[in-house]
Amino acid sequence: MSDSKKSQEGLTRREMVFSGAAGVVGLAIGGGVVGAITGSSSSDTGTGTAATTKPIVLGGVYPLTGVSAGDGIEAKRALEMAANDLNEGGGVLGRKIETASLDMESDLVPDKVRNALQRLVNEKGASMISMVWCDYANTGWDPVTTKGVPLFHANASITNTGWVAEDPVGRGMIFENDPNETWYGPNLVGLLERIKASGKWTPRDKSVAIVTSTDPYSVLIANTFRDEIKKAGWSVVMFEKVSAPLSEWGPVLAKVRALNPDVVVNTDWLAQDLAAFTKQFASSPTQSLVYEQFGPSMPEYLDLTGDAANGVLWSTNIGVLPDAMGEEFRARFEKTYGVKMGFSTAGAIYDQVMMWANAAGRAGDADDYPAVVKQIRAGIHRGVVGTCHFDPKDNQAMPYPAFYNDPSLGMPLLSYQIQNVKQVVIDPVPYLMGTFELPPYFK
């Protein structure tokens, strides 16, 4: 990892304020308007040029039904909130922003993704498309690659970034504003070593039990972690695959309890699955740290687990930061929609829109897709989930500290511990809200 790590002097945090011939992009922390872009003409040609005042459509393709609907609904709300913020500041290049969100359901079927993209591009005339998840097979992108419409997703999958890397020109309009899942395994190894170095926890025999669903995202994280933890001198005493969704974890936990490992890692990412796992583990816990993948970021997770989740560790490559900018966004979102916001999805989608708006402003024409894509690639965007700087090879946001040493260049890979039924960032510096605590069930 050290060979590819980019060193920078100091740990700085900066906001990027971009300017271009067509307008100025401003990023306001404390108020309601973020990323307003000005510049307009009185004519309405409807031709997709900078002179038109025809509204710009931002499309969303989200899982609005099914097991991932919580993420999808939150994403749709974030898209609409970003559009409202832009409109309050005058729109983009003098044009009003409208949104259109379609349901791709929760099973990531390529045909459903393609159909939704087709409707947005050809029927709605979307100038930008936002997604949370997308299909792993990369067979549904045709409508986007044909028209060249810039698209952002947060699927965090090497299958998607690797596909873009095979043809960065023909597929270069697809951006993953979330470092892919290959970074989770190495980061977790580093996190365990940092916890150990703190003196607050000492593994008995450096043993780990790994549980994964058959989902490609989950499997890759589990495999990468297994390989990296072995290199660090640990033994993997269990590697179990399950089919998600899963609510009954008795057989898996029976094996865990027989082994009593130092660490239990569950890379099934569904919040409901992990909530069930956590409650059933807590009924008769082993002397093990528990790490779970992404699911604890969703508000329903703590609603389902309560005190049983205390001590659980989890990470996200794209979490809303616990700073003034992130907290202001969280407060506005929760006030606007009257619900508790998750830790990743809303911020990821909001930043997608603002990255696009910044780029469109610099390009001078929201419908000149090649120019907008060029500006997206060139920019460094400081949003509510941190700094996004895309790798030119595969359009992947690169992480801090796993890749960059400087958080002004990399997306922070945040690690949380649930303490007293609250989410506490314990890694990395400078985003700490607290420090690691030994789980309450430890003797």
Distance of CA 210 to the CA centre of its chain: 23
Q: Is the domain of 48 the same as that of 140?
A: yes
Q: Is the domain of 353 the same as that of 402?
A: yes
Give the tokens for residue 258: 């027989």
* pLDDT tens, position by position, 274-310: 999 999 999 999 999 999 998 998 889 999 999 999 9
Q: Which residue has the higher pLDDT, 43 or 184?
A: 184
Burial 23-55 (b: 16+ CB within 10 A, else e): bebbbeeeeeebbbbbbbeeeeeeebebbbbbe
Alpha-helical regions (H) of 338-420: 345-363, 369-378
Burial class, 247, CB count within 10 angstroms (exposed 0-12 / middle 13-18 / buried 19+): exposed
Give the tokens for residue 29: 């922390």
283, 439 contact by CB (below 8 A):
no
Q: Is residue 398 part of a domain?
A: yes
CA torsion angle for 413, 419, 423, 427 (degrees, to 10)? -20
SS (H, E, C) 253-270: HHHHHHHCCCEEEECCCC
* pLDDT higher than threshold 60 for residue 184: yes
Burial class, 111, CB count within 10 angstroms (exposed 0-12 / middle 13-18 / buried 19+): exposed
Q: How far apart are the first and last CA of the chain?
A: 36
Task: Assign 56 to helix, strand or coil.
Answer: strand
Q: Is the domain of 69 the same as that of 135?
A: yes
pLDDT at 51 (0 to 100):
61
pLDDT at 402 (0 to 100):
83
Give the tokens for residue 43: 């004519």
* pLDDT higher than threshold 80 for residue 27: no
Predicted confidence band at 17 (pLDDT cuts at 50, 70, 90)? very low
Q: In the predicted model, what is the mean pLDDT of residues 84-89?
A: 97
Q: What element of type H or E holds 197? A: helix 184-197
Q: Is residue 327 part of a domain?
A: yes
pLDDT at 281 (0 to 100):
98
Q: Name the domain count of the chain.
A: 2
* pLDDT tens, position by position, 375-404: 999 999 999 999 999 999 999 999 998 889
Q: Is the domain of 92 the same as that of 165?
A: yes
Taking alpha carbons only, the member of 53, 48, 62 closest to residue 120 is: 62
Burial 290-309 (b: 16+ CB within 10 A, else e): bbbbbbbbbbebbebbeebb
* pLDDT tens, position by position, 142-156: 999 999 999 999 998
Q: In the predicted model, what is the mean pLDDT of residues 326-355?
A: 96
Q: In the predicted model, what is the mean pLDDT of residues 412-431?
A: 95
Q: What is the CA radius of gyration of the chain?
A: 22
Q: Is the domain of 326 the same as that of 297?
A: no
**For residue 217, what is the domain's CATH number?**
3.40.50.2300
Taking alpha carbons only, the member of 114, 176, 179 closest to residue 145 is: 114
Q: Is the domain of 292 the same as that of 338?
A: no
* pLDDT higher than threshold 60 for residue 347: yes
Q: Is residue 14 part of a domain?
A: no
Task: Assign 271 to helix, strand or coil.
Answer: helix
CB atoms inside a 10 Å sphere around CB 171: 18
Q: Is residue 439 part of a domain?
A: no
Q: Is the domain of 279 the same as that of 354?
A: no
Give the tokens for residue 308: 């049983």
Window from 15-24, 49-58, 380-389 with minimum mean pLDDT = 15-24
Q: Is the domain of 276 the same as that of 334?
A: no
* pLDDT higher than threshold 60 for residue 24: no
Beta-strand pair 414-419/386-388: unpaired
360, 37 contact by CB (below 8 A):
yes
Q: In the predicted model, what is the mean pLDDT of residues 40-69?
A: 72
Give the tokens for residue 244: 């998600």
Q: Is residue 105 part of a domain?
A: yes
> ω before 407 within 30° of 0 (cis)?
no
Q: Is the domain of 327 the same as that of 366?
A: yes
Residues of the domain holding 73: 21-180+320-412
Q: Is the domain of 168 the same as that of 212?
A: no
Q: Is the domain of 142 the same as that of 206?
A: no
86, 97 contact by CB (below 8 A):
yes
Q: What element of type H or E holds 412? A: strand 411-412
pLDDT at 68 (0 to 100):
85
* pLDDT higher than threshold 80 for residue 405: yes
Q: Is residue 236 part of a domain?
A: yes
Q: Is residue 387 part of a domain?
A: yes
φ, ψ for residue 400, nearest 5 deg? -120, 135
* pLDDT higher than threshold 60 for residue 23: no
Q: For residue 378, which amino acid is it?
A: A
Q: Is residue 258 part of a domain?
A: yes
Q: For residue 239, which amino acid is it?
A: F
Window from 134-138, 281-285, 348-352 with minimum mean pLDDT = 134-138
Kindly state the DSSP code that residue 123 receives in the 8-state scheme: I
Q: Is the domain of 282 the same as that of 326?
A: no
* pLDDT higher than threshold 90 for residue 10: no
Cβ partners under 8 Å of residue 31, min gap 6: none
To the nearest whole number, what is the mean pLDDT of the chain?
88
Which pTM value belongs to this model? 0.80
Q: In the predicted model, what is the mean pLDDT of residues 64-74?
A: 90
